[in-house]
Structure 1
């Protein structure tokens, strides 16, 4: 019996969300409440934030830069992690068993590792892009373009898509001693050691080592190299400038000044990306270390609360990047506000459209009677005018008839008698 328990525990899965019920702690109300609350909070914030990053870059023209293209790739990868790893963890915590079947076990495990690996590759891609843009500015004019960034992003996704297909053959549905269905290992845990070591080296150690070297070179250029003074440049332009240049400079002077110069803007972008890399290193360290240690020890360390801490750190890494962009990049902050205002304006426009439609319907219902009344009034007024005109014309004709008719001659009675006698 002890051998079966040990073997079962050794084969318990150690991926980021499909950890089985290892002890009675996971059955407690306290654990379930904390687990569901943390996952819902972090994943909810992360899903909304990453969707906003994708929207502002795709809908705002000036945000379509090579660096932001890589950030869109990172946002989509983070969304994949949050949806494929975070949301199934909620049902796993509540039910305590796997409810998505065999196909769900394969697909969800595949998309978990796909999101993890693409996230790491995207960070490496924008680190290299920043190094070329700052340390080799002449070369960057032809290398650091949006079209080239799109091709690189395609490769960033194709390679992990092929690499992660390995997990289709490594996981399967299992039934533990409590007769609960779990998504776990298909073969012995010892055979997974090379896979975990390769993942740890390719998608964690190498990106961090490369980032340390490249950001060191970038810092030497941005923060240690002398920058030409703007006063000297302005004086030279004043002495050598033509009238046209002076007029153009006057026009530029009337324009609103930028909040930061080109150098300070590049420094700010580099600091922001460096923070993203540092957070990636710190938040992924507990899980990567746990998997590495459990691959070598005879009995893996599977404390429920520590596993929850590792998963929460992973979800936080996928959710925190939009917050970093908003705090450290004025362009992203303005774009986020513009997206929010567009939503407000769209809602107002729909409300006004509904009100106008209602008003037009009411007006259409009221206009026929009003028009009929107006026509009746016009008809009545016209009839009265015709009648007055007819009366006036009749009166004039009568007067003329009276004037034209001969007037009778008044005679005396005697004259009348004489005339009747004749």
Structure 2
């Protein structure tokens, strides 16, 4: 009989969620008590240090030490409860409880990081949006492209001439750090990058971050054939027949299919999906699809996310799961498992392969696979 292995990934997920909840809860409490100052409309982390979930992802020895220490803490609490009930051995039990806490293998300073950025927990006031991506692209081309380059890798003559070369923005950097940390770098500058506090508004800085994420996704899917890290389907305005829905964001918790209009006939509505036509006629939704987006920025935003020029997007379909993550792309009209371009980096097993045994069309299998394999995405050391 095989001995089941301990699921460290599941353990790390629980720890990260607990750390996130504790710190955000404390920040909200301090804000409510007016003990945390606001920066650009959001409460800022007021302490010099914060818990660092990133360490748990890098070093499993820290995870083991933390699990052992928490186990000792639980045992000490049980001994304290027993001491209250058993008076004859109270001092012995109290001594054992204190010894357990003192001798527990706490990870010392490993779980602490300097909160040099008071906006560590800041998040964009609006959801990742098509308008934000395109506005960010305009700002990037005006103020950033000379150093960082069109692909974000920083391999430009000006960038390489700096004392500290620009970071590779198409790598995992944007996903390893908090949005608030990135926002703080834009606001105050970092290394050879000047501060943008005087030349940009808070909305512009969030738009720049929207674009950086979208551009990194487009560069990644062009280089590797898949989105290296999860990326959301951007919010956009909708025109729907016989519906009060006016924005994509209103369909939270539902699967979404985005269809780029072209010369080919449009697919029919699918009751399992909320379908949106992009690039259709200028007045209202058309054909078999009841909702369309005529937002001027939407097609450009999708081109950036997919790394495909706008003129070559016609006939492309994109699928987003119930959590809003882009998962699959197809341009042939015949879906297959090869169209799944985003799988959870923390998922265990191969749900896609298991679903294939069930049968059904390629689209049936993709929908089942998205539901079976949700994206457990870690951002800045915290699960989203």
More helix by share: 1
Question: What's the TM-score, normalizing by structure 2?
Answer: 0.21
Question: What's the TM-score, normalizing by structure 1?
Answer: 0.20
Whose RCO is larger (CA < 8 A, sep 6+)?
1
Q: Which protein shows a greater Rg?
A: 1
